Structures are given as C-alpha cells and as structure tokens.
Chains A and B, each alone.
Chain A
Amino acid sequence: MDPHSRSNSRARINRFAKLFIALALTLVSVSLAAAQKKDSCVDCHKDMQGPLSDPVTLTRGDIHQLRGLSCSDCHGGDSSQDDPGGAMNPAKGFVAKPKPKDIPQFCGKCHSNAEFMRKFNPVLRVDQEREYSTSVHGKLLVTGDQNVATCISCHGFHGVRAVKDPQSSVFAMNVAETCSKCHANADYMKSYKIPTDQYDNYKTSVHAKALYERQDISAPTCNDCHGNHGAVPPGVASVANVCGQCHVRQSALFQSSPHKTVFDAMQVGECIQCHSNHGILPPSDEMLGTGEKSVCTSCHSQGDNGYQEAGRMRELIDELATRMNSALEVLTKAERAGMDVSRPKFELTGAKDALTQSRVMIHSSSAGEVEKIISPGLEVADKDQKAGEGALAERSFRRKGLGVSLFFILFLAAVIILKIRQIEKRQ
C-alpha cells in the first residue's frame, strides 16, 4: 500500500470513531433524562400564574427540596401522573392545604419518625410534635382554636430553611421578631388577654443588646426561656431554673439563700422579682443596698436584718470599686509618664475578678460571704496603688537625678572649654 492511500484510510477510521462517540453520548443523555423522576406537580405549577406558581418558586432553597424531597412527599398524591385528577387523587393521600389542626401531624409524619429522619440528620430531634402538644399553643389547638401557632407559623412553608440558616425565620436573631408577629399584635392577642409589650421590652434588654449589637447568637431570645416547640410561660417555680441554665452560679447561690424560702412562700418569681423578665436591664450596683434605686428596699425597711445586710454588701462593693479605680488611676498616670507598670496593671485584674465575683455572691444575701471575696481584692488594689505611687516617686527621683547629672555634665563641658582656651592661648 502506498503512503498516500494509507493516510486516506487512517482519516476515514478517525471520522468513524468520532461519529461513534457522538452517537454514544447522545444515547447516554437520552437514557439519563428518561430515568429522572417525573414530577408533574412542578411541571404544571411552574407554568401557572399567581399564587398557584408559588409552591414552585418558594421552594427554591427550601431545606426539604435541597434534601431531594418533592411536593408529593408532603402533600401526597401521585406526581408521576400527568392527569391532574390522577396526580391529586385524595385516594392516594393527596392533601392540598392541611387545616391548622392537622398541621402538627402533617409535619410529624416525617419529623416524628426517627427511622425516617435518621437518613437525613441522625442528631435531629423527633419529639417536636409531642412537645408541641404540651405547649400552650398545642393545648389550645386541641380545643379547636385555629389561630394559635402551629409548625408553619414559625417555620413557614414551601420556603422552610434550616435553623442555622440566617435567612430562617427561626434563626436565633430572627426568633423574637417571628414570635412578635402574633404576640406584639394587640388585636390578634385580644382574646387571649395577655400583654403584648414583651417584644418592645425585650428589645431594651441586656440580652437583646448582646444578640443584636454584639451579634452573639448564644444570647437568649424568646425560645431560650420559654422553650420552642413546647412554649409555655415559665411558672413561679421554674423561673430560677430557666435563668439558671446560663446564670448557674447566681441561681445556685440564690437557692441556698434565705430568700428562696420566703419567695416560695410569697409565690413570687425568684429572679424576675429584682431583674424583671423581658426587659432585663444590665444590673448595676445601685440595685443593691438602701439607696433610691435599690430593689432591696421594695421588701426590706430600715431596722430589719435584710436592710442591714444589703447596706453592708453595697458598702463592701463600693469600697473595692473605689480603691480599684484609684489604683488604676495612679497606674495610668504613671504609665502616661513613661513608667512601666504593666505588671501591677495586670495584677489589678485580680481585684477586678474579686469585684465581679462579689457581684455574683450578693445572690447569697450574706454580707459575710461577700466580704470573704472582697478582702483579697482590697489587698490587691492597695498593693497596686502603692506600686503606682512608687512608680510616680521613681519618676520624680529620675527627674531630680537628671537635673543633678546635667549640672555635672554641663560643668564638665565648661571645664573642657576653659581648658581648650588655656591650651590654645599657650600655643
């Protein structure tokens, strides 16, 4: 075979190979398309106008859709049927729009099924439905109240997002606003005869500041105190336990204090008696003692033991705060003068810690216990005060020393100048 005809036949083989590959790829694509699950719900609703197309558009980004679930997984029916009658056949479990009373069971079909949920998220709880039935919402729903919150009131529908998703209506920073849609609506809440100022109060609270200003999503919002699926107002007996979830030490001290028995007997909420509930403001030393802003004087009056203890605790805290500030002031002054006082400044954190601990210890209502913490703090503050004063004295000594040194240095320079003149005169 001559080289010319050999190259012709090689080109022909190449053309056949290319054609074969193109055909094979087309066949594979067609078979894959055919193998994909048919979803007549999406096929029909996507072309509809108005609210009927919402289920398709809103579910984009929905956690269920992202996990591969389709319309029929919740609504039932047969999405493989093109015929609307067949696709939305009630005999095949189709439910177009569940009634509020049916919603917990509707979502619970999957969310209460541990085996089913394990496939998607093994750590996800499956007791939401049961917990909901213990909530005020759940109990009212059973009585036929159709206005109470159900799953979709908080989580939404068709656009449900994971709790950790910042776009979710139940993401930590969105919870209060979600609850407020009903609970801050005076008309909506009229028949329930409960206040509607909780959201406004909460927004002024130290908790809301931490959540919204510091963006600390561990700061408490509605569900952290009331529960989420089992939402109820904490009763008098459980308030301290609720607050104690985070404020562990304060709660433990309160439980062992004389106040515990008295508060229980008086049937008053433990923590909220002094700190209020939704609008909890940052605590201040003024709340303690016998002054105008004191919360102690709402129960105690001059002459009783509690009044004296409160006054003494306040005195101790004020004394430490004053001495600590004085030490800090003198150390700052020394630092500005260029002295190294970093060590005493660091040690002053010991006094600051004592002050913080004493402010916690007041929940024991015992001036003696507070004093045990304050005393070492006072020692640290006094030591640092002396260190600051010592640094300022050292600075003064250095300046005096400099003055004396400069005198001798200038004197020496003058002597050398005179010596030079003397030498040069001789020369």
Chain B
Amino acid sequence: MRAEALKLWLDERLGTDALTKLARKKEVPVHRHTIWYYFGGMTLFLFLVQVATGIMLLLYYRPSAENAFESVQFIITEVQFGWLVRSIHSWSANLLIATMFIHMFSVFFMKAYRSPREITWVSGSLLLFVFLFFGFSGYLLPWNKLAFFATKVGTDIAGVVPFVGNFTMRFLRGGEDVTGATLTRFFGFHVAVLPAATTVILGVHALLVQKHGMSVPPGVNKQTVKTMKFVPNFLMRDLIGWVLAIGALAALAALFPWELGEKADAFASAPAGIRPEWYFLFMFQTLKLIPPKILSFDGEIIGIMAFGLGGLLLVIAPFLDRSAENRRRSLLFTAIGLVVVLYIVAMTVYGYLA
C-alpha cells in the first residue's frame, strides 16, 4: 500500500508512469547481428566507470608539473585501493575506445546510419573524436616521461596543419613547448571541457537512439524479424556484459597494473621507440611512412590533411551513402569500410612490430 502511494506520488511529480510505459513498449530486433547492439551499451557502461573512477582519482590528483607524478605515485602506493582505481581508470579508458570502434564499425556495416538516424550517427562520430581527445589529454596527466614526449610529438603533428596549425599547437601547449602549462590545460580539458561536451552530445545521442529505436540491417526482413523486450530481456543481457566487464577490468588491474614509469624531464632525451597510445598508432605509423615530399608538397601535411578529410567523410557518411537510404546493401561503402578496418589493423600491428 505504501509502495503504491509512493509510486503515485512520484508519478504525479515526475511522470514515471509514462516512462515505465515507454520502457515496456521499447523492443529490440532479434536476428543474426543482434550481438552488435550490445557494444553501444558497453561503451556507455565503461564511460560511467571512467566517471566514477575519475572522480575518485580527483580526490588525490594534483595537476601541476611539480606534483602530478608524485600524486599519482601516492595514489598507487599509499591510498587504500588507489592502485585498483587508477589501473581500472586506465584499462577502462582503453577498453572504452576499443568498444567504441567496434560499435562504430558495426553501425557502419549494418548501415544503421541511414534515414532517419543520420544525426544519431553524426553525434556518435563526434563522441568518438571527444573520446580520442579524452585519451590524448588523460595520457599526459601522470606527467611521466613517455607521456611527456608522446604529447610533444602529438602536438607537433597538430602544429603542421596549414594556417591553423601553429595556433592549435600553441593553444594546446599553452606556449611554445610542452610544460606545466600544458599539463594544467590538458587537466582542464579532461575534467571539465570534455565531460561537458560529452554530456551534451551523449544526451542527444541517447535521446535519438530512444526515439528511433534499434535499426534493422538491410539484409534482414523488417516485417518478419523477431523482437525482444528492452526491459527486462535486453537490459539484463546488457547487465551480464557489464558484470563480466567489471570482472575483466579487475583481472587486468590486478594482473597487469598500469605502469607509472619515470617522471617527465624536459631536459632528458626522448626515450627510444616512443609511440602514442594504440588507437593513434595507425595514424602515427602512416605519417612515419609517408615520404617527406610528394610532388612539391610536404608529405606530412598531405598525410594530416588526408586523415582530416577521412574524419570529415566519416561524420557525413550517411549523407554520402545514398544506396543504403533505399535499404540496398551499398556494397561500395561496405568495401570502403572493410579497407579502412584492414588498414587500421595492419598499420597498428606494423606500428607495434616496427
């Protein structure tokens, strides 16, 4: 009786009844590609892990060149379970990027971006860029030697872009070189600017996913496809994935704690074999392989411009792929997607072996 009264009280104020009805009404198509639907939820879950562990790290982290390294060292050696929180934050960040790539390519190959989900795709691809920048900015925060030089190389690359490059590099670094000012800026991006951007874009993305529901791929008959309830059937399956993800994160953190390395030293020579995080490696390796001059143009600039163009094409893919619009297979885009995936995998592997 009391529960009913509380439910009524909440419904009058929050409209929970309508939300419950909406959740009950929501259905998920069941077909041979349904497994890919789980990666969006997994990415969201890992993001929430990032938020929770990030807030915990903030309790001890000090964003300055003098204290950052020592504060992270304190977290992993002195703070109770600090090692676990820091390692989970680092591992989860990497798994998040991985699941995000999987989610993006599964959406791409299932042509889920076709009308009326173009804006869902655009918001998702913007989230990818935001999360890559999350990774780039977070990598510097422990202020260790490897991160310091990787940031130097990364911002150097940004500086090569014609017209806006120099400004971008100086803006990111907070000056001519990577210094404590860069660390403070990156901290600001990582804990304020990017979370704010994520909240807005993720809000739009999630809202649109709810509005349009799950897309049925062109190869599956929309009329005859089976469905399952989102609540509880799909959500509980999601929950299994999340629980297992916690297990995987705990195992990675306990067996392979994320290394801290040596404190950054601007006067030290760059460590041998310096390379960025794995998700930037395919671009880094490509820029290393591009000849210094292509015709009379700077090879590095052409490479950077090509990746910029690639990013733009990714965002506007739904507007370019007109075949998918009519529920056709659009083989050209599938082939392009396969080439891109193969290229990223091959270049990443080559980057690690080279």
Which residues of A are in contact with B by a Cβ distance under 8 Å?
338-340, 342-343, 398-399, 401-402, 405-406, 409-410, 412-413, 416-417, 419-420, 423-424, 427
Contact = CB atoms under 8 A, between A and B. Distances in A.
B254 interface: yes
Given A343-B73, A402-B251, 11 more contacts: A340-B76, A340-B83, A342-B262, A402-B250, A405-B250, A409-B246, A413-B240, A417-B240, A419-B236, A420-B237, A427-B233
A410 B247 contact: yes
Nearest to A412: B243
Closest 4 interchain pairs by CB?
Answer: A409-B247, A402-B254, A338-B257, A398-B254
Interface of B: 73, 76-77, 83, 229, 232-233, 236-237, 239-240, 243-244, 246-247, 250-251, 254-257, 259-260, 262
A343 B77 contact: yes
17 contacts: A338-B259, A340-B73, A342-B262, A343-B77, A399-B255, A401-B254, A402-B251, A409-B247, A409-B250, A413-B243, A413-B244, A416-B239, A420-B232, A423-B233, A424-B233, A427-B229, A427-B233
Contact of B243 (A338, A409, A420): A409
Given A338-B256, A423-B233, A416 B250 contact: no
B254 A340 contact: no
A406 B251 contact: yes
Contact of A423 (B76, B236, B244, B255): B236
Given A338-B259, A412-B243, A413-B243, A406 B250 contact: yes
B244 A420 contact: no
Given A413-B244, A420-B233, A402 B239 contact: no
A417 B243 CA distance: 12
B240 A406 contact: no
Contact of A342 (B73, B239, B240, B254): B73
Contacts of B233: 420, 423-424, 427
A338 B83 CA distance: 11
Contacts of A419: 236
A417 B254 CA distance: 26
A420 B235 CA distance: 10
Contacts of B73: 340, 342-343
Contacts of B250: 402, 405-406, 409
Contacts of A399: 254-255
A342 B73 CA distance: 9
Give chain B's interface secondary structure class: helix
A185 B73 CA distance: 62
A31 B30 CA distance: 103
A258 to B, nearest CB: 46
Contacts of B259: 338
A224 B33 CA distance: 82
A423 B246 CA distance: 24
A196 to B, nearest CB: 45
Contacts of B239: 416
Contact of A405 (B76, B240, B247, B257): B247
Nearest to A409: B247
A416 B236 contact: yes
A343 B233 CA distance: 50
Scoring B243, B250, B259 by chain A CB atoms within 10 A of each residue's CB, the highest score goes to B243
A420 B243 CA distance: 15
Nearest to A410: B247
B285 to A, nearest CB: 27
Nearest to B263: A342
Nearest to B260: A340
Contacts of B260: 340, 342
A427 B73 CA distance: 53
A420 B233 CA distance: 6
Contact of A406 (B83, B236, B237, B247): B247
A404 to B, nearest CB: 10
B144 to A, nearest CB: 11
Given A338-B256, A340-B77, A342-B260, A420 B236 contact: yes
B234 to A, nearest CB: 10
B262 to A, nearest CB: 8
Contacts of A412: 243
A50 B254 CA distance: 81
Contacts of A342: 73, 260, 262
A424 B237 CA distance: 12
Contacts of B240: 413, 416-417
Nearest to A403: B254
B147 to A, nearest CB: 16
Contacts of B247: 405-406, 409-410, 413
Contacts of A406: 247, 250-251
A343 B236 CA distance: 45
B255 A402 contact: yes
Contacts of B257: 338-340
B125 to A, nearest CB: 32
B130 to A, nearest CB: 30
A147 B288 CA distance: 64
A420 B234 CA distance: 9
Nearest to B234: A420
Contacts of B254: 398-399, 401-402
B228 to A, nearest CB: 8
Contacts of B246: 409
Nearest to A401: B254
Nearest to A400: B254
Scoring B77, B237, B256 by chain A CB atoms within 10 A of each residue's CB, the highest score goes to B77
B97 to A, nearest CB: 22
Contacts of B77: 340, 343
A418 B178 CA distance: 54
Contacts of A402: 250-251, 254-255
A405 B251 CA distance: 9
A6 B257 CA distance: 92
Scoring A339, A399, A416, A424 by chain B CB atoms within 10 A of each residue's CB, the highest score goes to A416
